């Protein structure tokens, strides 16, 4: 399951980045986007069968669950909402804007979930290198691995929203 999860994760990262840089609304964007969706669902669902080895907070059915499971669950919600909006676009005001919002947050969440796997390596390094307590190490590592991507993602997404809201079309050129 871990190999499947890893392959799905690499595919999701590459396809997610591709959808971000492709011209929006094109056939290629849509095809790559659907592949991103499939790889994200594969990734997130497979994570439910992999026990957390760090930052665990719950034990269910013999498996330990942790923060990356929360990111996986949240990623599925963002992805589902983003896809639903484009499938039912006529039911929404500014569907392209809200599709962008949810899909980009799913990519940011994917990056944060990927970073969760780095915690076990970076946290102890921070403790040893800087000579801080484990508590400070967790705080510093969390700020770098989760806070930084979330902050950059929030700024990036909010900067793009007016472009998509005001575009008035379903296709937006690359670079936005």
Domain contains 63? yes
Domain contains 55? yes
How many angstroms separate the CA atoms of 103 and 33, rounded? 9
pLDDT under 70: residue ranges of the chain: 166-176
The whole domain housing 144 covers 2-167
Domain contains 139? yes
Domain contains 172? no
Q: Which residues contact 35 (CB under 8 A, 6 or more apart)?
A: 11, 15
- Summarised one tens digit per residue, pLDDT across range 27-42 is 999 999 999 999 999 9
Domain contains 162? yes
Answer yes or no: are the C-beta atoms of 63 and 51 closer than 8 Å.
yes
Quick one: pLDDT at residue 44?
93
Domain contains 174? no
Quick one: pLDDT at residue 53?
78
Answer yes or no: are the C-beta atoms of 7 and 40 closer than 8 Å.
no
- Summarised one tens digit per residue, pLDDT across range 59-91 is 988 889 988 788 888 889 999 999 999 899 889
Domain count, the chain: 1
Domain contains 138? yes
How many angstroms separate the CA atoms of 35 and 43, rounded? 12
Domain contains 124? yes
Quick one: pLDDT at residue 120?
80
H-helix or E-strand spanning residue 70 = helix 67-87
Quick one: pLDDT at residue 24?
84
pTM of the entire predicted model: 0.83
* Residue whose pair of structure tokens reads 């986007």 in the numeric block: 33
């Amino acid at each position: 399951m871990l190999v499947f999860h890893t392959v799905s994760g690499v595919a999701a990262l590459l396809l997610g980045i591709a959808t971000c840089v492709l011209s929006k609304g094109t056939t290629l964007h849509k095809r790559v986007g659907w592949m991103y969706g499939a790889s994200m669902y594969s990734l997130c669902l497979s994570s439910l069968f992999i026990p957390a080895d760090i930052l665990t907070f719950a034990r269910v059915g013999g498996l330990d669950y942790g923060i990356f499971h929360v990111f996986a669950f949240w990623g599925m919600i963002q992805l589902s909402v983003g896809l639903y909006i484009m499938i039912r676009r006529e039911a929404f005001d500014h569907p392209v804007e809200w599709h962008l919002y949810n899909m980009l947050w799913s990519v940011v969440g994917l990056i944060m979930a990927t970073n969760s796997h780095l915690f076990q390596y970076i946290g102890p390094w921070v403790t040893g290198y800087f000579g801080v307590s484990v508590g400070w190490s967790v705080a510093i590592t969390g700020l770098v691995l989760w806070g930084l991507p979330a902050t950059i993602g929030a700024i990036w997404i909010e900067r793009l929203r007016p472009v998509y809201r005001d575009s008035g079309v379903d296709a937006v050129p690359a670079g936005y």
